[in-house]
Structure 1
Amino acid sequence: MAKDDYYVIVFRVLTYLYNCLKQDEVVDMQKLTPEYLGINQRYFGYIFDTLDDEGLILNKAYYEDMLGKHLESDIMVSPKGISFLHENSTIAKVKNSAKGILDIIGDIPGL
């Protein structure tokens, strides 16, 4: 799968949020930007709207002001999001692809 595939981005985001939760770390909002994820603003909004609508993240994903939508800093993975990481067959394919790449090139920050 391509690095900008929907499921690859969802895997990266949910895995990052889950790791922050498990390690009691504050979410680094710089890792949740279109630029960091390598996608455009519209696609970024679509992904986070979908994660929010499907209940895969907790807390309202965005606040909106005159400059547009901004992710909330208290964003967290939900129990449903954790289950999605463990049970979704497409996410399992992403994990297997990522594991093969990581075996060859080493750890990738934010993955």
Structure 2
Amino acid sequence: MTAETTVINFDPNMNCSGNMSTKTIRMTFGVWDYRLIKEITVGGNGAGFHNIDSALMQLYEDVEETGIVLKRESDGETLLCEDDDDQGEDWLKDMLIAAEIIAIAPQEWPKD
């Protein structure tokens, strides 16, 4: 692990017995040397890859009509990527080069 890595307490009890936790997923998309990093928050009692898949579906719903813009760090040039072949979230999966659950929090219950 590097000095930049923060270890989160991924308590499996927050994802079982009907507990509904909130997870933040950081996803990096890449085409050639163009990149886009998105952080998506998902809820529910799923764990592991299920959360990443949920984040991809949510992001696809948000960008289905507009596409996503990736940026090249070296010169700031941008690249518009769209779902031209109507692949659905598989279009995003093809560009996904990294995904990580970076935060988990218990469900906040309404106060009486």
TM over 0.5, shorter chain? no
TM (norm. structure 2) is: 0.25
Indicate the structure with greater strand content. Answer: 2
TM (norm. structure 1) is: 0.25
Larger Rg: 2
